[in-house]
Structure 1
Amino acid sequence: MALARNAAEDRLLERLSQRTAVRDRERRGAVHPDLQGAAHRQFPAARGRSIVGRRPLRGCRALGVCPQTVFDAGGGSSHDDRSERRHERFRSLQCVVDERETVRGMERLRSESAGPRRRYQLAFLALGWLILIGLIFQCGAGAILRRVYDRIDLRLTSFAQRLSDAEGDAVQRTQRSSRSALVVAAYPKLANRAWLARPDRVLWGIYDGGFPDSFAGLSNTESRLHYSFPIVSIYQAWGDRPDEAHFPSRLAQTIDRLGSVPMVTWEPWVKDFDEARRPNLPPANEREYASLAAIARGDYDFYVTAWAAEAAKFGRPLFLRFAHEMNDPYRYPWGPQNGNRPDDFIAAWRHVHLIFQKMNATNVLWVWSPHISMPWFEYYYPGDEWVDWTGTGVLNYANVASWSRWWTFHQILEKGYPALAKLGKPVMVTEFGTLTEGGDARQWYADAFRDLGDKYRAVRAVVFFNQPHDSTLLTQEPLDWSMLQDPGATLVVRERLSHR
């Protein structure tokens, strides 16, 4: 079709050039204006009118007639030779005009038909570039952006750690005569690992919700209670994020400079390792199933070994609470709901313990911490030679959940305590506290302190869970475990700690 159209255009252009040649020859024989008669002067005027009104003239030409004004121009007769020549020139001119218009129309049609093709070509070209950019981004730019993001995140984390260190140093300077000195005076053997494995008195500790970013909460709580805690608890997940990838050396050193012993709850969230950096690991969404067996198999030795080496470099006594509440099927991914059997946990615990021994991290004290409200937790015990402390959380959730009500400290601990005490290890209450709604928080703490001295003599450490914004239960509002929210509870805790 395109070839036929081009051939037709070529024929029209050839005819146009022939008509133009005829017109040029006629112009060479044109009459000078001084010699023109009326007829010579009238024809150009008529021709001008015909060009302006193309459609009437073209219609007349199709019928083989011309306007009467043309025949009557200058008063000449239709049989007059000059008139015939004028008519012929007029028809030739009209043909030229029509042919030009036809060519223009075909050119316009051609341009109009080429327009959509051009737009489609541009669209496909743009689409191709977008696909190419996407492939480049997928292959290389994505990794570059991830590295940039990691660097920014690392810088921000390092900056936050420096601020935390500076804050800890400021707290140490302002409280040097009260913080470190009081802790050392109350617990002169606190830096002795052997003594920490079998303390002759109860150690009190605290976790503050401001960690690891700020020590302001700890400082405020200790100021209100007039007490400096010998154990400071922190939490760290496994993973490749800057706040997960390494042993928390700076935070541990700050706690040590304040005179306390750090306790790290070490949570094996294996999904947090980057797939691009860890191609030897399964996809992230497949790692949680049987993750303890994978740890025991050595799949995560790259992480455990480096962490243990840094813990050994820290050199000071350190409590390590690894994979806590491993028997709870409703809480953490390393629980039994993901195919993690008791034997898998024991194998993972021992494997990690052996790595720490190989890295000479003998400063670590191992805290085995099951959920004693769940049955058969004894089956998860790794063995006496692998454990220094046993522990459990004692938190009163009051009426915030369908499975809970207002429980006293004794009601929460009494069922599982005999099995813990039977193991012969010192017992630690790793998370200690109560909510305030649904009961009397002041009385709860008063009863707890009394029962600790009367009924639970194997408990050698208690760690307050001072978290004012706990979202682990996914309740509508975060849970507030701080004892400071209740003035009566604050008074009771301050009074009891002053006698310890």
Structure 2
Amino acid sequence: MITLPRLMLVALMVIGGYVFVVAPRVEAYTSSTTTWQEQVDEPVPVFTQKHEQPPEIFPQDNKAFFGIFTEKGPGDLTDYNGFVKAAGKPPQVMMFASGWGAEQHFNRQPFDRIVNRGMLPMLGWEPWNYRAESKTDKDRGTQPQYQLSKISAGNFDGYITEWAKGIKALGYPVAVRFAHEMNGYWYPWCESANGNQRGDYVKAWRHVHDLFEQLGAANVIWVWSPNVVYENATPLSQLYPGDDYVDWVGLSGYYGTAGMETYQTFDQIYRPTLSELKTLSKRPIVVTETAATDAQGRKAEWIADLLRTLPRHPEIIGFLWYESVKETDWRIAASPAASAAFAKGVDQPYFGAKWDPDMTTRRLVPSRD
């Protein structure tokens, strides 16, 4: 199989008759392009702990959440504000990225900024230096200092400990999406890259998880998040740490980009991976990254299909939309038609999940009435 070159840093694949886009890498919230909001001290969230017996579960029965992931994260809320306006209501989850080689110390500000806006924060925690990323496709995943064996050997324990203590001290839940899309080849933590060996990913994941656990950071929701499967991808069964180490299973999958706009439904993109995951895990699934191109004028159609289809998948408890302009304009706010389709879809009672910091996390696939 010939590997297609990346188009503007995005890998485009035509696999088994469908098109998907490997998720675009985003800059962390400390990007130099962030606005004044990054410099404003965010107040520590104040919430009343209800101590209900038992506590309410998020998301609730017969409900799912929708969330947002932007290039600049909570440091610049421009895209977030546009998304809320287009959707007609705020999301319940917000994800942002942070790289080990760029963000040297824990900072609670982005987490507090998200919680103060009524959302569960999800940290995309990336063990590499994204600022040193190679522009050559075959070398993009090569950063020897971040080999998986070095993580499991304890080379980064000081760094991990600082973040574990910082997240624990927040006092509210935080989802941690650690080392995502590990079944590909484009990151240093992929087993097919960077001199990593078979079994190294699971060892590294369990080491990080166990260190958090030893430090008492029990407020973490662990999100194991591969890319949708494709030909020659590393088998998911080789990479899954086990249900004892995972709370949610995440998935990345996009519809098209410039030059690769063949229309495919959500089910056509996701169903092969969803079927495979049923054999690996009993954990709920979250679509941690998705979006659609409008290159063929079918973005609104794809959004409508997405929001009709998700309620038919009881294993999927939520999704996050990538609301940014990068390889193309992924935003729902980019067109009235996309905005209207999204607003209509999330106005269903099904997407009316409520979140507050005192809730516990759903860790089993819900039954649907």
Larger helix proportion, structure 1 or 2? 1
1:232 aligns with 2:94: yes
1:443 aligns with 2:301: yes
1:467 aligns with 2:316: no
Q: Secondary structure at the match of 1:490?
A: helix
1:358 aligns with 2:238: no
Q: TM-score, normalised by structure 2?
A: 0.74
Ranges in structure 2 where 5+ consecutive residues have no aligned partner: 1-29, 133-140, 352-369
Other-structure match for 2:274:
417
- Output the amino acid matched with 1:440: R
Partners of 1:197 and 1:365 within 8 A in 2: no
Other-structure match for 1:306:
162
Are residues 212 and 453 of structure 1, via their aligned partners in 2, closer, same or farther at CA, if it must alter by over 3 Å? closer
Are residues 286 and 436 of structure 1, via their aligned partners in 2, closer, same or farther at CA, if it must alter by over 3 Å? closer
Other-structure match for 2:333:
484
Other-structure match for 2:227:
371
Deviations 1:142-179 (A, max 9, x none): xxxxxxxxxxxxxx989x7973364977xx9xxxxxxx
Residue number among 225, 249, 266 corresponding to 2:125 in the alignment: 266
The structural deviation recorded for 1:448 is: 1.2
Residue number among 255, 258, 261 corresponding to 1:396 in the alignment: 255
Partners of 2:142 and 2:193 within 8 A in 1: no
Deviations 1:205-232 (A, max 9, x none): 1012342431132122212321111101
The structural deviation recorded for 1:315 is: 1.8
The structural deviation recorded for 1:498 is: 1.4
The structural deviation recorded for 1:313 is: 1.0
Larger strand proportion, structure 1 or 2? 2
- Output the amino acid matched with 2:225: S
Ranges in structure 1 where 5+ consecutive residues have no aligned partner: 1-155, 173-179, 274-284, 471-477
Residue number among 163, 174, 188 corresponding to 2:37 in the alignment: 163
Partners of 1:270 and 1:288 within 8 A in 2: no
Q: Secondary structure at the match of 2:199?
A: helix
- Output the amino acid matched with 2:335: D
Find the aligned partners of 2:36 and 2:146 in 1 and give their Cα distance.
Answer: 38
1:333 aligns with 2:193: no
The structural deviation recorded for 1:193 is: 8.6
Find the aligned partners of 2:84 and 2:146 in 1 and give their Cα distance.
Answer: 42
Partners of 1:204 and 1:462 within 8 A in 2: yes
Find the aligned partners of 1:194 and 1:302 in 2 and give their Cα distance.
Answer: 35
Identity of aligned residues (%): 27
Deviations 1:381-410 (A, max 9, x none): 001100000010121124435xx7433211
Find the aligned partners of 1:398 and 1:163 in 2 and give their Cα distance.
Answer: 31
Residue number among 292, 310, 314 corresponding to 1:452 in the alignment: 310
Find the aligned partners of 2:143 and 2:69 in 1 and give their Cα distance.
Answer: 29
Partners of 2:99 and 2:127 within 8 A in 1: yes
Are residues 298 and 199 of structure 1, via their aligned partners in 2, closer, same or farther at CA, if it must alter by over 3 Å? farther
- Output the amino acid matched with 1:395: Y
- Output the amino acid matched with 1:465: Y
Partners of 2:161 and 2:212 within 8 A in 1: yes
The structural deviation recorded for 1:201 is: 1.9
Find the aligned partners of 1:206 and 1:157 in 2 and give their Cα distance.
Answer: 18
Residue number among 340, 346, 361 corresponding to 1:497 in the alignment: 346
Are residues 298 and 249 of structure 1, via their aligned partners in 2, closer, same or farther at CA, if it must alter by over 3 Å? same
Other-structure match for 1:277:
none
Partners of 2:173 and 2:219 within 8 A in 1: yes
Partners of 1:207 and 1:465 within 8 A in 2: yes
Q: Secondary structure at the match of 1:464?
A: strand
Find the aligned partners of 2:55 and 2:306 in 1 and give their Cα distance.
Answer: 28
- Output the amino acid matched with 2:285: V
Q: Secondary structure at the match of 1:396?
A: coil
Q: TM-score, normalised by structure 1?
A: 0.55
Q: Secondary structure at the match of 2:75?
A: coil
Q: How many residues align?
A: 303
Are residues 320 and 345 of structure 1, via their aligned partners in 2, closer, same or farther at CA, if it must alter by over 3 Å? same
Deviations 1:94-131 (A, max 9, x none): xxxxxxxxxxxxxxxxxxxxxxxxxxxxxxxxxxxxxx
Deviations 1:48-94 (A, max 9, x none): xxxxxxxxxxxxxxxxxxxxxxxxxxxxxxxxxxxxxxxxxxxxxxx
Residue number among 276, 280, 293 corresponding to 2:149 in the alignment: 293
RMSD: 3.3
The structural deviation recorded for 1:495 is: 1.0
Find the aligned partners of 2:256 and 2:347 in 1 and give their Cα distance.
Answer: 27
The structural deviation recorded for 1:333 is: 2.0
Are residues 392 and 344 of structure 1, via their aligned partners in 2, closer, same or farther at CA, if it must alter by over 3 Å? same
- Output the amino acid matched with 1:223: K
1:256 aligns with 2:115: yes
Larger relative contact order (Cα-Cα within 8 Å, sequence gap ≥ 6): 2
Partners of 1:434 and 1:444 within 8 A in 2: yes
Other-structure match for 2:66:
204
Are residues 290 and 229 of structure 1, via their aligned partners in 2, closer, same or farther at CA, if it must alter by over 3 Å? closer
- Output the amino acid matched with 2:197: R
Q: Secondary structure at the match of 2:57?
A: helix
Partners of 1:327 and 1:377 within 8 A in 2: yes
